[in-house]
Structure 1
Amino acid sequence: MTHYRDLSPYSYDESAREMLNVGWLAREHSYPSGVVDERVVSALKILSATYDNQMRGIHHCEFCDTDRPFVLGGPGMDTDVWLGSAEIRVEGVDGTLYAAPNLVIHYITEHHYCPPEEFCRAALKAAGMDTAGQLTLVD
């Protein structure tokens, strides 16, 4: 997968709106790590069942031997969602649009990736969850 620095302008694919990148990780680039609030993980799982920018190919995790991670996602957390071939797009309260590979869920839960707080709040908002309180703790 192509690496993009967090909060850099999105350019992976054409889009009608300007977006910012989040979670486009690669082995040869460092990334912020820490503990991410479980509400954020739940929000991303809910949102993962709605495939944005679905691709034909599959990207495997560059950090581990996991063949093709999946999560139970969607509003009922009962939909098998395969990670590595779609994006999660969310809009912040200020109108900023963020695009993350859906593999971001695996990066957070298995590799302690800590996305920017504004993205985390946007994911909570998009999933209809409470956005109050601290969301991330960077190591």
Structure 2
Amino acid sequence: MFYEDLTEYDYQVLDAFSGRGPELHELWYRPAYKRLNVGWLEAGRPYFTGPVPAAAVERLEAIREIQWMNQCLGTHECDLCPPEEAPEGNGEVRIPGPPGVAYAAPVLVAHYITAHGYRPPQAFIDAVLAVDLDAWAAARWPEVPFPWVPDDAEHMEE
């Protein structure tokens, strides 16, 4: 699935966070912020390459572990890799940007950086580095690791 960097995200109308743990939890809402695509790469489509600070990659990998956003039932394999080596992803991450903007990236974005030399826009890298990872990791249901969840978000708990 390809989307050009910094174009408006329109894949899903709602944003949905899944809870971590044995219980089924989900929170969904219509975002009040603008979502911009970052890192939606596809074989045969050009993308920017270049160095990315190791701290940004490490932080993206940590965010992937604590923020479960728009999890899908199926998986998406990296089609830039040989099929027998392709990692799979099945969700997204949201990174707060400037006021009213969040970056929407696939969970494979760190893989694209490390394995394929992808260089996200600098604004995204800066936003990733600004994430308060300790606060996000400490979030416990019904809180989620993202600051802009509206008060009227719908919760499902089982």
Partner SS for 2:12: coil
Equivalent residue letter for 1:105: A
Task: Identify the residue that residue 3 of structure 1 maps to in structure 2.
Answer: 2
- Measured after TM superposition, the shift of residue 128 of structure 1 is 4.1
Residue 74 of structure 2 is aligned to residue 57 of structure 1: yes
Q: TM-score, normalised by structure 2?
A: 0.67
Partner SS for 2:104: strand
Structure 1 unpaired stretches of 5+: 70-82, 130-139
- Measured after TM superposition, the shift of residue 43 of structure 1 is 0.9
Structure 2 unpaired stretches of 5+: 15-29, 135-158
**Which residue among 53, 59, 71 is the counterpart of 1:43?**
59
Moved more, 27-36 or 58-67: 58-67
Identity of aligned pairs, percent? 39
Task: Identify the residue that residue 131 of structure 2 maps to in structure 1.
Answer: 126
Residue 19 of structure 2 is aligned to residue 19 of structure 1: no
- Measured after TM superposition, the shift of residue 108 of structure 1 is 0.3
Structure 1 CA distance, aligned partners of 2:104 and 2:85? Answer: 23
Aligned length: 115
- Measured after TM superposition, the shift of residue 84 of structure 1 is 1.1
- Measured after TM superposition, the shift of residue 93 of structure 1 is 3.8
What CA RMSD, in Å, does the superposition of the two structures yield over aligned residues? 1.7
Partner SS for 2:51: strand
